[in-house]
Structure 1
Amino acid sequence: MLSDGVCPNAYTFSCVLRSCASTRSIDMGIKIHGDIEEMEQVRSNPYVCNALVDMYMKCGMSLKAREVFKCNPVRDVVSWTSLVVGCIMEGQCEEAMNCFKQMQSEGFQPNAISFTCMLNACSYTNAVKEGRALHAEIEKKGLHESDLLVGTALVNMYMKCGLLDKGLEVFNKLPVQDLVTWTALIVGYVGHADVEEAFMYYSQMQVEGFFPDSITMTSVLKACSGLGRAQVGKEVHTRLLAMELLDKDATLCNGLISMYAKYGLLADAQKVFNNTQTHDVISWTALIMGYAQSGDVDDVTCLFDEMISKGIRPDSVTFITVLNACSHSGLVEKGQTYFEAMSEVYGLVPISRHHACMIDLHCRMGQIAEAVALAYRLPFHPCSSMWRRLLSACQNLRELEYGSHLFEQSVQANDNDAALYVFMGNIMTMSRYKVQLPEYV
């Protein structure tokens, strides 16, 4: 178009910017922005400004988006909503809420899209109070009845925040439901471990004529893992094969591997893994976790090494699984090697659970001095479970000196876990030694 000497107008620029936003083509977007700046009439067009804000936000350049937004001579609910959506995409949900409030304070009334975005922000941050306030506004405008997108967002918000009864109440009051609404209900029940209800609504959804998609089935697989009924899981697997979804969705394959691994059906988990076209860290970790649960540490370490050889980088969960396996098998040297590789090779910062695995490993091997030394080198205060593990080891080894010192440290850390007092009492009894315990608060 440009080579033919045709000058783009505001509508053309808006369309191209939307395309840049959807494909995250920031370099092209910046170039187009430069062209827009040279055209005064286009530069001040509100549709173009809104498209620029949307493009920069979706490409992760929130500061630039705010700069364009502030220079926008004519702000409207669309430009404000673009800003809100961008904040949510960057995980800045509180900032999104602030923008939403400021939009209203400047006299702009939120529309269905604005409300939907804000309800999603409440879901991410568990902001029940703000979600209820939004619900009240939505009911005043009647949007919960006239807009299914808003109604679904309400169901999703309440379910994600753990208000399952309220989510179901909103769901039942909706004049119509669709697959997305049903899925929001099912996902909510699965997320809060109410798998029986999840399966009930999964069945009812199909009776009502709605057939599950890959998102629904991903949640159903999670429910199968929590249900502990292998036959139900196999029936879902058969359904997935009939729907021909497994070749198209790696998440479903990973869910199946994880489900079979949790059942202890390692042959089935391995078969799904072998039939999966592409493997990522999630599928590898799910399989490794299955072998770890069965106590087969040799297969765990072999799979880990094979994963590395395939160019897949382990993540934090992978290391927790491998370290746990080393701990239960007493592999001190291997465990130490993996632990050091986390930061030195893969640039991962060990979190509490990794340190807890190493403390547990030393405790299981009777290496109380090494376990205590590791606990004292932690970059944070030991949690109750760590104190319990250390004192339990002291009890088993009748280590009064270490036990007394650890107990004193836990009290100074204001850890009032009653179990610690029980362990210390047992240590003293076994050692036939009596000391005055600090008063339990």
Structure 2
Amino acid sequence: MNRHLLRAEDTEFVGLLRACSRAKDLRAGVRLHAELLKEGIPEISFLVQDALVQMYVKCGAVLKAYELLVGLRVKNTTSWNNVIAAFIGCGQCPEALDCFDQLKRQGVPANSVTFSCALKACARIRAVSKGEQIHDEIAIQGLLGCSIILGAALVDMYAKCGSLIMAEQVLKSLPNRNVITWTALVSGFALHGHGHDALRCFELMLHEGLSPDAVTFVGVLKACGNIKAAAKGERFHDEIIRKGLLRGNNVLLAALIDMYVKCGCLMKAWDILEENPDSDVFCWTSLIEGYVEQGLSEEALECFKLMKQKGVSPTTVTFASVLKACGSIGAVESGEQIHEEISRQGLLLDDFVLGSALVDMYVKCGALLKAKKARDQLPVHDLVSWTTLIAGYAQQGQNQEALNCFKQMEHFDVSPNEVTFTCILNACSHSGLVEEGEMYFTLMYTNYGIKPVLEHYACMVDLYGRAGLFNLAISFVSKIPFDDYMAVWRSVLKACEKRKDVTIGRWAFEHALQIHNGDAALYDLMSNIYRSAGMQENMESIEAVRAESKSWEKMVSF
């Protein structure tokens, strides 16, 4: 095939490339591309260029499509838009924004679709600064007045990035608003936990005569869940049923179930699930998570079993929830079965959250050897899994193992965080390792730049108190860079309540009273310590002292 013939048969090449696109046959597409290059054409026609780019996009070779755009200096805006959109579809939003910047460097004119795609990428990765720059370019070109889709993308970008005031300002400035622009704002407020504002915007949308769609209702249901507005949620539920929006819409169904779960209406959530036999895994997972959050772990496990009986395959999020349920009730056998299922599916290979949930389950069940084995089998030992295991050793009184685990973590160049050091300082306290505790406290900010927080100071006070070094403890409290010293004493008392430590509890209580004997929380905490230790008479005596203190305060104020 000579050069002249090839140019005359561009249409045939385009047809062949489009056939490769439809069949997603990358190998055949690459061969066609190689044939074009072999002919040594000085300039491939625009028609063929676009077909080549589209073929690589459709076949999933987005990077190759991008390289073509740059190498061939394709000026067709649609081709660039397709590649930017493809990067976003693959979750490669930084690459999408790089592609957007390259388009401008090559002098390719951006249109409303280009800007909408770029804003979508910014929204996905919360790149608000880049979004603001794009907003300025859109304003300069005056595009907002003629594109509702672009306006919605801009509102959505600011809303997703948490710039909610700016999102609302942009929406109000749009010459034309529709249900999509309003839904972007409602969903943004709901996403960031501003349920009342989301419902306020929803009312404003209705006032403009706009009718909500399924996506809008997903946002308002989330808002109702955020603020526990079950009654409003039920009214929205009735409206959704009246409009027939639930049919075949599992996203809306999952949002409805999640709303009832967040409002504590678990029976209602279960009824909805039963009424909709085609519920997907997200609907089931919402209910399972609700049971776990409400402390109904056995119900969560039963729900999980029923879900599988219905032929619904769990996701990693589902597995993480049921592992948490197993840990909370010590159901180690059920946890092991779930562990086997997760391993069979190969889900631990690239999911750090699930791996940490597995280690945490064994720790909560007191099966520390199994926890360590599970951690060792993870492809990557991240900070969470290390810290979970360290906390488990400390909670079980295996303090030396906790310290050894910390040293191993350092050996693997995993940097600890605040929680890790709280666990380590607790381990030192329980083992009476004063010098080691002092060393780790210093190491925390000198080696790792972690500024000590309340829990760390409380651990050190507890460490000195347990070792009988009360003068050092009191001296340490006086050096704490907080105005509220009482917070440290309250933290020590809470720790004593958990471990039923009456001796240190009494000591901390007495010294805290010297600072502020009118703090009701102190009496409550000391009373709880006696209750947890089964010392009923002492608990009643504390209540009597507290009552006397209140009477004295009344007399003084009078």
TM-score after normalising by structure 2: 0.66
Inter-CA distance 44–372: structure 2 relative to 1 (3 Å threshold):
farther
Structure-2 residue corresponding to 1:414: 520
Amino acid at match of 2:228: V
Separation in structure 2 between the aligned mates of residue 437 and residue 164 of structure 1, nearest angstrom: 41
Structure-2 residue corresponding to 1:139: 238
Residue 198 (str. 1) matches residue 300 (str. 2): yes
Structure-1 residue corresponding to 2:94: none
Task: State which drifts further: 202-211 or 266-275.
Answer: 266-275
Inter-CA distance 104–350: structure 2 relative to 1 (3 Å threshold):
farther
Q: RMSD in angstroms over aligned alpha carbons?
A: 3.8
Amino acid at match of 1:128: K
Deviations 1:69-107 (A, max 9, x none): 232111222112212333344454444344334334444
Separation in structure 2 between the aligned mates of residue 236 and residue 258 of structure 1, nearest angstrom: 14
Structure-2 residue corresponding to 1:128: 228
Separation in structure 1 between the aligned mates of residue 464 and residue 371 of structure 2, nearest angstrom: 32
**Identity of counterpart residues, as a percentage?**
33
Residue 165 (str. 1) matches residue 267 (str. 2): yes
Long gaps (5+) in structure 2: 1-75, 78-102, 552-558
Q: 1:25, CA displacement in angstroms?
A: 5.5
- Residues 496 and 504, structure 2, Cα contact 8 Å, conserved in 1: no
Long gaps (5+) in structure 1: 430-434
Inter-CA distance 89–397: structure 2 relative to 1 (3 Å threshold):
closer
Structure-1 residue corresponding to 2:180: 78
- Of residues 326, 331, 335, the one that matches 1:224 is 326
- Residues 53 and 66, structure 1, Cα contact 8 Å, conserved in 2: yes
Amino acid at match of 1:346: G
Separation in structure 1 between the aligned mates of residue 291 and residue 334 of structure 2, nearest angstrom: 17
- Residues 167 and 185, structure 2, Cα contact 8 Å, conserved in 1: yes
- Residues 428 and 436, structure 2, Cα contact 8 Å, conserved in 1: yes
Q: Report how many aligned residue pairs link the two structures.
A: 430
Separation in structure 1 between the aligned mates of residue 304 and residue 505 of structure 2, nearest angstrom: 54
Structure-1 residue corresponding to 2:201: 99
Separation in structure 1 between the aligned mates of residue 452 and residue 384 of structure 2, nearest angstrom: 19
Inter-CA distance 116–348: structure 2 relative to 1 (3 Å threshold):
farther
- Of residues 341, 346, 350, the one that matches 2:453 is 350
Inter-CA distance 36–296: structure 2 relative to 1 (3 Å threshold):
same
Matched ranges for 1:342-381 at <5 A: 342=444, 345-351=448-454, 353-374=455-476, 377=480, 379-380=483-484, 381=486
Amino acid at match of 1:78: I
Amino acid at match of 2:232: A
Separation in structure 1 between the aligned mates of residue 344 and residue 501 of structure 2, nearest angstrom: 56
Matched ranges for 1:177-326 at <5 A: 177-326=279-428
Inter-CA distance 388–188: structure 2 relative to 1 (3 Å threshold):
closer
Q: Secondary structure at the match of 1:279?
A: coil
Separation in structure 2 between the aligned mates of residue 436 and residue 287 of structure 1, nearest angstrom: 40
Separation in structure 2 between the aligned mates of residue 288 and residue 70 of structure 1, nearest angstrom: 52
Deviations 1:109-148 (A, max 9, x none): 332222212322343x4x223x431321331341574343
- Residues 224 and 232, structure 2, Cα contact 8 Å, conserved in 1: no
Task: State which drifts further: 311-320 or 285-294.
Answer: 311-320
- Residues 363 and 389, structure 1, Cα contact 8 Å, conserved in 2: no
Amino acid at match of 2:524: D
Q: Which has the higher contact order (CA 8 A, sep 6+)?
A: 1
Separation in structure 2 between the aligned mates of residue 182 and residue 133 of structure 1, nearest angstrom: 23
TM-score after normalising by structure 1: 0.82
Amino acid at match of 1:350: V
- Residues 402 and 424, structure 2, Cα contact 8 Å, conserved in 1: yes
Separation in structure 1 between the aligned mates of residue 347 and residue 404 of structure 2, nearest angstrom: 30
Q: Secondary structure at the match of 1:73?
A: coil
Separation in structure 2 between the aligned mates of residue 285 and residue 239 of structure 1, nearest angstrom: 25
